[in-house]
Structures are given as structure tokens and as C-alpha cells.
Structure 1
Amino acid sequence: MRRIVAEDLDWSLATVSSLSNLSLQCIVNNFEERPIYEELTSSEKDFIQNRVSLSLPLHFAANVFPDGVYWKRCCITEPKTVLDMVTLCKDHIKKLNIAQLLPPIKEPQTEDEEQASELTLANEDDKSGMDHFDFRILLDKLTNLEELHLVYKVKSCGMNFEWSMFEMTNRDCESLAKALKSCKTLKLFRLHLSHLEDKKCRLLVKYLLDHPSLRTLDFSHNVIGDSGARAIGKLLTKSKLEILNLYDNNIGGPGAKAIAHALSKNTTLVSLNLCLNRLKDEGGQAICKALLNNKTLLHLQLGANGVTWLTALSLSSMLAQNNTLKSINLSCNALGEVGGNALEEAMSHNTSVTECNIHLTDIEERRVSVINQMVWNNQFRKQETNPREKNTENAN
């Protein structure tokens, strides 16, 4: 028998590329001269986008790749390169979603520098050199931007963990606030999971008070307390907000009272989410009483706020007079038998509420079933009255 011994001991048949991959690589190598793309399968298109040169002229790439991995690869680059590209496509960017922000990498310090930094640390205020991107140099160029989603955090920090990687600095907040004020077309601003506390919240709100187009504000999953909530209450009295999401913060009774005071005079807000805060009955009752004078709010969420039957009584009194509210979330609150009885009585006279979440509220199952049946009856009446709206919901 004869056998062949390979000189390369690591060689195996598995290292040989398939003919199809070799052909695709040939397309990649000559893509600018002969862009074969539309006739390929989805997996072959991904192969091309993952390997084609990022130095393709923008006017060429924009006509070939409408979306996909290629543009994601382009964004993983230096800020200056991104800004140069923004100048060319600024009129078409309406939504910006930034899932993480990497702070500058700290350079290793010498022993003398470490000793000097220890001596001056007590006198410095937010001078750590860990600031993130300055959005003023970007948002000024995006003249048609309508949505901005931001998260100040690092997804995979590894052994370099520092708390500053999961929150904005004071300078970050100030530069962002000024950038938001200059972005006159912005309709939706979402800043979550960024350890936004009262001081920074007040600063952002200060620059948003007179914003001409902002309609949705999402500060969910932060640490906003009563002081920040009072600033947001002031925003409700001056802005034209339609959706306010403060889910999962540290807002207590005093902060909720400030929001309630603004809500009693507000004529634009249609959705308010205060779930997973610390309103207690002081805040819950204040919100419910405010809705006696409010005729625009459609959706109210007060789940997991430590409210009891006292808030349920206030809500029931409000529902007897308010025929605007459509959905209520009271889940994960200890409403008990008294609260359930009050809600049942109120829903027997209310015809507007078509959604009512009372899961895990210590209300007995029989009463929950009765309340749910009343809600379903309201849904049915609404669909019968507005068949066009029913068809729209089915289409969605």
C-alpha cells in the first residue's frame, strides 16, 4: 500500500474552503468593479456584507446595501469618521439608537501620577476623565432627527469594571442637555438604565422645558427620586408631552404629589407609567384625585407601588366621574377585599375602562372574575360602537 504524509501536520480536509465560499470571496475581492448582490441568497448576502471592504464609496454602498451588517460594521469606527458620514446622510436619519456608550480608556499612570491623583481626588468634582461622547457635535448635524434612544453603560466590561461605566458624568449630562435643546425636531427621547438621579434629571428637564416638538419622554430603569419628580411635574405644566414613562425609579409620595398637581392641569398627556416606584398611598391617592380634573389621560400604570385599599377607594371615586381613562394597571399592590369591593362597585358604573390589570392584588378570585367581565363588556360595547377601530386592532 502507498500513503501520503502531509508536510503540514495541521492540515486537514476541513481547512479547505468550499467552492461556493471561494466564489463568494472572489465576488468580495472584485465587488466595486462588479457588484453581484441582489441575485444572491440571504446567507450569501451576509457573507458579502461581513467581508466587503468598508472603504467603498458611500454613494456606491448606499445603493447596494439598503440595510444590514455592512452598515453596522461601518459604525464601529472612530467618531470623526462617523461625523464625516453624517454630513452626507443627515437628511435621512430620523432615529438614533445607541445601546452602549464606551468611556475613554484610562492610560496607565506612573507612580508619581498616582500619588498626585490621590492628593487631588478630594478636591475634584467629576474630573475623572471618564466622560462619554459629547452629543452636541452630532445632534447639531442631524436636522431631521425624531427619536433618540440612549443607554450609558458598557455591555461587556470584563476585568476593567468601574461603576462610572454604567452612568453618565455631570459633564455628560450637561452636554447632552444642551444637545437636546438644540435638536428642535426631536419627538421621542429615551434614556434608561443609566443611573439617572435627581440632580442630572433636573438638569435635563431644565433644557427640555420649552422644547417645541418633544412628545415622548422615557426615563425608565433609573434612580430618580422626589426631587427629580418635582422637576418632571414642572415639565408637564410647560411642555406638550403625550407619553411619560418613569417605570422603575425611586419616586415616593412627595414626588408623586408634584406630578399629580401638574396632571390636574395638563391637557396633552395620554399615558403615564409609574410602575415599580415607591408612591405608597400618599402618592397613589394624589394621582387618582388629580384625574378628577384631567380629561385627556387614557392609560395609567401604578403597579408595584405599595398602595393599598386606600388608593383603590380614591381610584373608585375617580372612575365614577372620569369617562376618559381606558386602561389601568394596579398589579402587585395589596388592595385586599376592601379595595376589590370598591373597584367592583366603580366598574359597575364605568363604561370607558377596557383594560384593568389587578393581578397579585390580594383580591379574591370571584371578585377578580366579576371585574374582568365588566371590562370585557366595555371592550365589546366599544367594538360594537366603533367597528372601524375594531378592524384596525385586528389588522395590528
Structure 2
Amino acid sequence: MKIPYVVSTNSRNAYRTAEFMQQSNGEVQRRIIAENFEWDDGYTPPPLSFVAAIALSKIFHRINPLNRILRKDRDILMDLFPADIPLKYSVRFIEDEQYWKRSFNIKFPTRLELGVSFWKGKYLSTCLQEYLENAKPDLFLEDEAVELASLVSPYIYQLGLNQLQIIRQPKPPVPDPNTVEDNCEFSVPKLYDHIPLEPVLRKLYNLQEISLVFGLNNLGDEYMPRYFEFSIRDCESLCRGLEHLNHIKTIRINRSNLDCSKVKVILQNLVKKETIEELDFNHCKIGDYGMKALGGFIYVHKNIRRIRIANNRFKEIGVAGIAYALQMNPEAPIELIGKYLHRIYIYFSLNPMSLQCATTFAAAFVRCKEKPKTLIVNSCGFRGASAEKMAGLLCLNRGLTRLDMAANNLSGEAEATLLSALEQNKKILRIDLRRTHISEETQAKVDELLERNRNLVGQESEASEEIPPLYLKAKVDELLERNRNLIGQESEASEEIPPLYLNEPEYMIWEYNPNNPDYIPGRYPERVPEI
């Protein structure tokens, strides 16, 4: 029997609670309103499948129904499963990306991730990162770490550690009046070891990229220099772990005290790792000795393409090491830093360079057999003669398509050299000249020349496609015959080279020896012809 059909409407209105009484303290707190006969109007009870899904979502660690229910019911479960299911139950059975995205946002609400296409791998990588970043070296459980790494290894392709806990520094012993001991705090051997990365890395067989920072975050008043140190043993443990990774391509160590001895240990262990394509050592302490080792690594390794070395401590000798590697035409097409896949990409930003550094660097770029495509030397302290050398590179190096020289001083003669070089170079497509103290007229002229070069892209190749093959063969034969007839004769004069100095050995030495401190690429010395 349904009461509203039996009790008249007038009787219900007569015994209905007044509106001012419904606002009283006693009525507001009342949850069951017996006189409300319309409580079920517009209300539809959920189906039993939904009620069953709610019950199953609470006991997933005991009952896994995913393989025994319909697809539509499985989608309902994905929205009901809690984010705190233990990984040993959820990793192998849950593949739904929305579940892992929701779990990531619930467990890591402060992290903002954009452009993620594989949320399961991102969530598991972040879980492993959080575990390793907070693991204490003194209480590190290797078996537990290996178990977690084995569980998530099929889904992790990138791993980034923004901090690593350092081992506790032992304190001097308590003084004993009956014994003579050295209790000076500075005599206690300092330990810089972190958790061993070898047992964890050797399980991540799909890993392609790893980023490390040997330091601590959010120290505040507890800052100590030793928190950012790490030992040779840490480097050896890292390299032993990397030996088992057959797909590793990128290794990054940033904002750490990576000095010459440590980078040499790393490079010695990675020289036979042919899968390595990028090494990122930005914001470290690599000096000349380490840069020479890096140059040797570039020369020997077959597949290395990008090496990031911004903001380090090398000088003339270090630049010479990299310059030697570029000139010797290594087997692999090196890209020293960059996001664009050019054959060679050089990035030396934030490394102050003297005139000698600029001279050595210019010589390398003029002489190197593998022409670089991109050069970034932002904020390297170029001014005066050094700035003029770097701007004059565009005269002799026609392989560059991008040159970034922001935050350098190109005023004066360097500005004129840049314009003169750009008028001759038709390959450069992009130049960054922000905060270089050049005039607006010069910037406008540079933009005009770059636009000219962009319009010329592809025209040479298109023209060559239109030439018939038979005509090409005849033209080649004609040119070869001309060269045979010119054997022993003097070279013809050109607009750039005065006729009086064509056969002077001194002129050729000046042109092909940019190590001369007075040499400016593209500018020839004034000569007084002999009478």
C-alpha cells in the first residue's frame, strides 16, 4: 500500500510541519522525515551491478574480478578503485590509463605534468623516485628496493632523482681521560656515499633516460656543503648498474659536484656503451682535465650525439680538448647540446671564455670536417676581439644554420664584422642577438639577411633536379679538361684575394691558422706590395 494514495491531500496538508518549525534546531538536525511521502519522487535506486562493483572495489587485494566481468562493469570498477591499492596487486592487472592518471593526481597533487602519454609508467616512475629520494643510506634495505624495481621495471622508461640522501657523518668519540686519542672533528674521515644504485638500475631493463642530482632539497638553515658531495664509489656503483641497461640513451648529472676525476670514471665505464646518445653535465664543476677526457670520449664513441656542458669550470685547455675532437672528424655525428636533430649541436652557454678560448674555438669551427649545424654561446663573456672572432665565424664556416650569442657584447667592430659575415653566408637561418648591445638598424639588417637565406632554402637542390643527367656528365668532363689545362699555371685572381698575394706562403698561413691572436675570420691583413 502506498500511503499518498490512501491518505487525502487535505489531511497531509493539515498535519504538515510548518515552515518556521522546519528551521528550528530540532527539525534541522532530523534526518528521517516520516511525514514526507514524496521522498522517492525522481529517485531511481542503483542497479545491483553497481552495488556489487562498490563492494568489489573495496576488496581488490583479495578478489580480482577483472578477467571475469563484462567490459562495461570493468569500466565502472576503474572509477571506483581506490588509489592506495598496494602496487603488488595493481601493477600486473590494471592497465587502464585513467585509473593511473587519477592515482597520480591523488597521490602527488603538487606535481604538474604536461604532455604525458603513458600515465602508468609516469606513476610507477614517480613512486620509485619518491622511494629512492627519501631512502636513508644507513637504513637502506636492498631487498626491498630490488623488489620494487623488479615490480615496476616493465613500465619505466625514464627515471629522475632530484635528490639523494647522504650517509650519516660519524661524530668524534667521547673523550677518555685514560687514553690519548685524536678527537678533532676535522680528523674524522668524511663520508659522501649515497644509496647504492647498482641493484636498482640493473632491474630496470627498459630504462632509456636517467637524471641524477647528488644533493638535498629544501635544507633551509640546515645547509652544509657536504650534502652536495658524492664519492668515486657512487660513480662506480652507477656505472655498474648502467652496464646492464641495453636501451639507455640519455644520462644526466646536474647541479652536483661532478669534478674531473669523477667524470673520468664515468666516461671510462661508458666508452663501450654504444647505446649512449646524450650526456648532460650542466651546472657541475668539470675543469680542463675532465673536458680533455670528454673530448677523448667524443672521439672514440660511435653513437654519441649530444653533450651538455653549460656552466662548468673549464678554460683554454678544456676548450682545446673539445676542439680537437671536432677537428678529428669522429665516427659519430656529434651534436654538442640541443633539442634539434642536426648533425652537430654545440652548447657552451654560461662558460666564460677568454680571448684565447674564443680563438681556439673559432679555429676548431673553421677546421672541423663535420660542419656544425647549431652553436649556442649565450652569456660567455664575449666582447671586443673575442666577440669579433665569434661573429666572423660565419664568413668561413658555411655549415651553421643557427647561432645564439645572446647576453654578449657585440658592439663596435664586432657589429660590423657580423653584418659583413652575414652578407656572405647564405646558409644561416637563425641568430639570437638579444642583449648584445647592437643597434636597431643592425638588428633590422640581420633580420633582412636571415629572411633572404630562408627564401633560398631548397632552391639549389630544386635546380639540380632539373639538370638532365647527360648534361651533367658532359659538364663534368668539360670542367675536368679545364683543370688539366690549368696544371702549373697560377690561380686566377678573385675579388676576395688580391692578385699580388695569391702565391705568398705567408698569406696561406694567415688564412688557415686562426690560432693567431690577431686573426679575425673573414678579414685579411693589410699588405704593402713590394716594388
Q: What TM-score do the two structures reach when normalised by structure 1?
A: 0.78
Tell me how far apart the structure 2 counterparts of residues 380 and 278 of structure 1 sit (CA, whole Å).
35
Shift of 1:205: 2.1
Larger Rg: 2
Tell me how far apart the structure 2 counterparts of residues 189 and 233 of structure 1 sit (CA, whole Å).
17
Shift of 1:26: 6.5
Return the match for 1:30 from 19, 34, 59: 59
SS at match of 2:89: coil
Tell me how far apart the structure 2 counterparts of residues 363 and 73 of structure 1 sit (CA, whole Å).
46
SS at match of 2:415: helix
Listed one character per residue, the Cα deviations across residues 246-300 of structure 1 (whole Å, up to 9, x for unaligned) are: 1111222221122112211134111121100122221122112111222342111
Instruction: Find out whether 1:51 has 2:116 as its counterpart.
Output: no
Tell me how far apart the structure 2 counterparts of residues 164 and 96 of structure 1 sit (CA, whole Å).
24
Instruction: Find out whether 1:157 has 2:219 as its counterpart.
Output: yes
Shift of 1:29: 2.4
Is contact 1:102-1:132 (8 Å) kept?
yes
Tell me how far apart the structure 1 counterparts of residues 426 and 76 of structure 2 sit (CA, whole Å).
56
Tell me how far apart the structure 2 counterparts of residues 279 and 149 of structure 1 sit (CA, whole Å).
28
For 1:174, the equivalent position in structure 2 comes to 236
Cα RMSD for the two superposed structures: 3.8
Is contact 1:289-1:318 (8 Å) kept?
no
Is contact 1:100-1:154 (8 Å) kept?
yes
Return the match for 2:352 from 275, 278, 288: 278
Tell me how far apart the structure 2 counterparts of residues 116 and 186 of structure 1 sit (CA, whole Å).
49
Tell me how far apart the structure 1 counterparts of residues 186 and 381 of structure 2 sit (CA, whole Å).
41
Instruction: Find out whether 1:261 has 2:324 as its counterpart.
Output: yes
Letter aligned with residue 272 of structure 2: D
Is contact 1:251-1:279 (8 Å) kept?
no
Tell me how far apart the structure 2 counterparts of residues 24 and 231 of structure 1 sit (CA, whole Å).
61
Give the direction of change, closer, same or farther, for the CA distance of 1:375–1:199 in structure 2 (3 Å limit): same
For 1:292, the equivalent position in structure 2 comes to 366
Give the direction of change, closer, same or farther, for the CA distance of 1:236–1:88 in structure 2 (3 Å limit): same
SS at match of 2:399: coil
Is contact 1:184-1:212 (8 Å) kept?
no
SS at match of 1:205: helix
For 2:403, the equivalent position in structure 1 comes to 328
Instruction: Find out whether 1:207 has 2:269 as its counterpart.
Output: yes
Tell me how far apart the structure 1 counterparts of residues 235 and 125 of structure 2 sit (CA, whole Å).
26
| 5+ long unaligned stretches in structure 2 | 1-20, 27-51, 67-72, 105-122, 132-140, 335-343, 463-531
Letter aligned with residue 58 of structure 2: N
For 2:491, the equivalent position in structure 1 comes to none
Instruction: Find out whether 1:366 has 2:441 as its counterpart.
Output: yes
For 2:124, the equivalent position in structure 1 comes to 71
Instruction: Find out whether 1:148 has 2:210 as its counterpart.
Output: yes
Tell me how far apart the structure 2 counterparts of residues 305 and 385 of structure 1 sit (CA, whole Å).
35
Give the direction of change, closer, same or farther, for the CA distance of 1:112–1:208 in structure 2 (3 Å limit): same
For 2:6, the equivalent position in structure 1 comes to none
Paired residues for 1:184-199 under 5 Å: 184-199=246-261
Letter aligned with residue 206 of structure 1: Q
* Most deviating of 192-201 and 89-98: 89-98
Is contact 2:172-2:185 (8 Å) kept?
no
* Most deviating of 78-87 and 342-351: 78-87
Shift of 1:87: 3.0
Is contact 1:320-1:346 (8 Å) kept?
yes
Q: Give aligned pairs, total.
A: 366
* Most deviating of 86-95 and 235-244: 86-95
Give the direction of change, closer, same or farther, for the CA distance of 1:50–1:66 in structure 2 (3 Å limit): closer
Is contact 2:205-2:244 (8 Å) kept?
no
Shift of 1:92: 4.6
Tell me how far apart the structure 1 counterparts of residues 430 and 175 of structure 2 sit (CA, whole Å).
61
SS at match of 1:60: coil
Tell me how far apart the structure 2 counterparts of residues 26 and 167 of structure 1 sit (CA, whole Å).
52
SS at match of 2:204: coil
Letter aligned with residue 81 of structure 1: E
Tell me how far apart the structure 1 counterparts of residues 377 and 399 of structure 2 sit (CA, whole Å).
17
Letter aligned with residue 390 of structure 2: L
Return the match for 2:187 from 111, 122, 147: 122
Listed one character per residue, the Cα deviations across residues 27-54 of structure 1 (whole Å, up to 9, x for unaligned) are: 75234446777448xxx95x95543344
Listed one character per residue, the Cα deviations across residues 130-159 of structure 1 (whole Å, up to 9, x for unaligned) are: 421222222333334321111112223355
Percent identity between the two aligned chains = 20
For 1:93, the equivalent position in structure 2 comes to 156
Q: What TM-score do the two structures reach when normalised by structure 2?
A: 0.60
For 2:528, the equivalent position in structure 1 comes to none
Tell me how far apart the structure 1 counterparts of residues 157 and 436 of structure 2 sit (CA, whole Å).
42
Give the direction of change, closer, same or farther, for the CA distance of 1:145–1:322 in structure 2 (3 Å limit): same
SS at match of 2:247: coil
